[in-house]
Structures are given as C-alpha cells and as structure tokens.
Amino acid sequence: MGALKNKHLIGLEHTPARDIQKLIDTGFTFREVLDRPIKKVPSLTGKNIVNLFFENSTRTRISFELAEKRLSADVTNFSASASSVSKGEGLKDTVQNIHAMKMDCAVMRHPVPGTCLQLSKFVDAVVINAGDGTHEHPTQALLDMMSIKEKFGKLKGLKIAIVGDILHSRVALSNIYGLQKMGAKVTLCGPPHLIPRGIQELGVSVNTDIDEVIEWADALNVLRIQRERMGVGIIPSVREYRDFFGITQERLDNHKKEIVIMHPGPMNRGVEIDSSVADGDQAIILDQVLNGVAIRMSILYLLLGPDEGEES
Ligand code: CP
C-alpha cells in the first residue's frame, strides 16, 4: 500500500483532498531541503525514472529532472523528436521498449488528452502526468496550490480567479479540481467562447468582466494566450485581448488593492500580462518555479519512496 490512494498521478479529478494535502505538506518539507547548502537526499537511490516528453517543455521538464536528481534517482530523458517516434513508431511500442528496460517510473507529457492513462495500462511503472493535451496538468496545479498556501498560509476560503483561454487549458482544469477540493472558491474569466459551456457544473463561477474579477479575487492565475490561436478566429488580435483581459499595470493600479499574481509560464509579456506586473511585488511567478521542484520531489517521493512505517 503506497502513501497515496492512487498508484499513478494522472490528474486531480480523482485525487482525494487528503492526498493533495499530503503532497503539499511534503512539498514544504522538500522546500527546506532546497534551501540547504547540499540539496540532495538519498530517498530514491536505485530507482529508475524516465522523462518522456512528446511535447516541448521548459519548466516542467527541468524541474522534474532536478527533483529526480535531488532525490538521488537514476534519470533517463526521452524526447520524441530525437527518438524513433519520428520514424513512425507508435506509443505502445515505444513504451514497451522502455518498460523492458525496467523503469520504475515514467513522467510523461503528450499532446493527446488521455495518453497518460493509456500509458498506465501498458506498464507496471508508476506514471506521472506532466501535461496531456487539454486534459490535465496536475503537477502544475499542485505547485500553484503550494505557492498560494505559502503566500496566504491557507487555501480554504480563498478566492482564486483563473484568467484566459480556459477551453484549451490543462492548467485551468487541474486547478479547478484541486483548489475546490481544498476549499477555495474559483472564478473563471476570459472571452466567452473560450470558457467551456456548462463548466459551472464543476462548482466554479464565470465572470467575463476582468475588473469585477480583480475586485473579487485574492489571487489571479493568468494563463498563457496561445499565439497559435491568434488570427484564426479564436482570438481576434493581441491588442483586443490585452484591452479586455490583459493584466496591465494600469488596470491593477486603478483597483488599488492587494492581489497576488500568478502565471504558469511561458508568459507572453505585453499580451496577457504586462512585464511590470510579472516582475512586480505582487507576482509570485518565480516562487511557483521554485515550488515546482519541491512539489515534484514530494510527488516522486510519495509515489516511489518507502511506504509509511518502512525504513527509508
Ligand atoms: N507551466 C508549464 O507547464 O511550463 P512548460 O511548458 O515550460 O513545462
């Protein structure tokens, strides 16, 4: 029996609140390790982890690799563009080859929703979802929740707004599940056609007036506007988006209130967020990055480390 209910971390939809709490608490323990002169512990000595990235990543990929190394695991990196996937090999064959190499854990990012769940059916290894298409990005939501808790000392009762293209965002969906399980209130804000119809059934509210949302919220989680969606009828123009939904310095100054600004990255400075806001005192964006390493250490440790009661 592992430390968590589920063997894999596929999403927060089916992760109990108790386990989210445990992952965040353990994340804070590993934050202390990251502040030490020697930032390495032997917890995962002898464990083999493969990072399978079928889609580009900077933060998630680097922080998983760092977390794995800080826990003394043996790490193998796999990138689709540099593998036989480019010669037409399918996911199942790729994965079975990796399985034959006796990996203990696969961390996977893939552009197709549901691929991590599929992978978990093909292999004995623990599977961690590092972002699967527009489905979920659970490790991002966990680091977001850890960063909010670090700032406010709690999650319960806080008012968190998620701003941007909700329809195509795995970060939004994982945050919606996670934050509400931890007792936070969630409002979604963005262009109406980029908010999924019926999303209120998940318990969130929707408000397309960004100024009302800023007045309401304790923290804004600002999503990246995907430039590939510009000019193809989904987002008319950068200028229009910025005017209606951009977190500009002028807009924040008009509200004269304390509000925490978050962004999962990568950022489009000058589009969804002004540079001065991203680099300003209200932003915790680089704390999110640091907490990303700690929370990924926590996830790996709780899924792969010694069971409770066992000697480490
Ligand atoms: N936040 C996030 O997932 O960033 P990357 O795409 O750089 O990993």
Q: Token pair for residue 41? A: 């512990």
Amino acid identity, position 214: I
Q: What pLDDT does 95 receive?
A: 73
Q: How far is the CA of 171 from the centre of ligand 1 (A)?
A: 10
Q: How far is the CA of 184 from the centre of ligand 1 (A)?
A: 24
Q: Is residue 305 lining ligand 1, measured as CB closer than 6 Å?
A: no
Q: What pLDDT does 312 receive?
A: 45
What residues contact residue 90 under an 8 Å CB cut-off, 6+ apart? Answer: none
Q: What pLDDT does 238 receive?
A: 84
Q: Is residue 60 lining ligand 1, measured as CB closer than 6 Å?
A: yes
Q: Ligand 1, atom 1: nearest CA belongs to which residue?
A: 264
CATH number, domain 17-137+289-304, options 3.40.50.1370, 3.30.70.890, 3.30.70.120, 3.20.20.80: 3.40.50.1370
Of residues 149, 202, 141, 150, the one with CA closest to residue 172: 141
Q: Is residue 292 lining ligand 1, measured as CB closer than 6 Å?
A: no
Encode 1-48 in three state secondary structure.
CCCCCCCCECCCCCCCHHHHHHHHHHHHHHHHHHCCCCCCCCCCCCCE
Kindly state the DSSP code that residue 273 receives in the 8-state scheme.
Answer: B
Round to whole Å and give the CA distance between 297 and 168.
Answer: 28
Round to whole Å and give the CA distance between 311 and 278.
Answer: 44
Q: How far is the CA of 58 from the centre of ligand 1 (A)?
A: 6
The per-residue DSSP string of 206-265 comes to E---HHHHHHH-SEEEEPPP-GGGBTTTSB--HHHHHHHH-B-HHHHHHH----EEE--S
Q: Is residue 111 lining ligand 1, measured as CB closer than 6 Å?
A: no
Q: Token pair for residue 253? A: 């100054």
Q: Would strands 219-222 and 48-53 be described as parallel, antiparallel, or unpaired?
A: unpaired
CA dihedral over 145, 151, 153, 155, signed as positive or negative: negative
Q: Is residue 139 lining ligand 1, measured as CB closer than 6 Å?
A: no
Q: How far is the CA of 140 from the centre of ligand 1 (A)?
A: 8
Q: Ligand 1, atom 7: nearest CA belongs to which residue?
A: 58
Q: Is residue 57 lining ligand 1, measured as CB closer than 6 Å?
A: yes
Q: Token pair for residue 31? A: 């934050």
Q: How many Cβ atoms sit within 10 Å of the Cβ of residue 183? A: 12
Atom of ligand 1 nearest to the CA of 56: 6
Of residues 268, 278, 273, 211, the one with CA closest to residue 247: 273
Q: What pLDDT does 189 receive?
A: 98
Quote the CATH superfamily of domain 139-288: Aspartate/ornithine carbamoyltransferase (3.40.50.1370)
Q: What is the pLDDT along the chain (312 residues), one digit of tens a residue?
A: 579 999 999 999 999 999 999 999 999 999 999 999 999 999 999 999 999 998 999 999 999 999 999 999 999 998 877 666 656 667 777 677 777 888 999 999 999 999 999 999 888 899 999 999 999 999 999 999 999 999 999 999 999 999 999 999 999 999 999 999 999 999 999 999 999 999 999 999 999 999 999 999 999 999 998 766 665 667 778 888 999 999 999 999 999 999 999 999 999 999 999 999 999 999 999 999 999 999 999 999 999 998 654 544
Q: Token pair for residue 174? A: 């994982």
What residues contact residue 243 under an 8 Å CB cut-off, 6+ apart? Answer: none
Q: Would strands 105-110 and 185-189 be described as parallel, antiparallel, or unpaired?
A: unpaired
Pinpoint the residues of the chain covered by CATH 3.40.50.1370.
17-137+289-304, 139-288
Q: Ligand 1, atom 3: nearest CA belongs to which residue?
A: 60
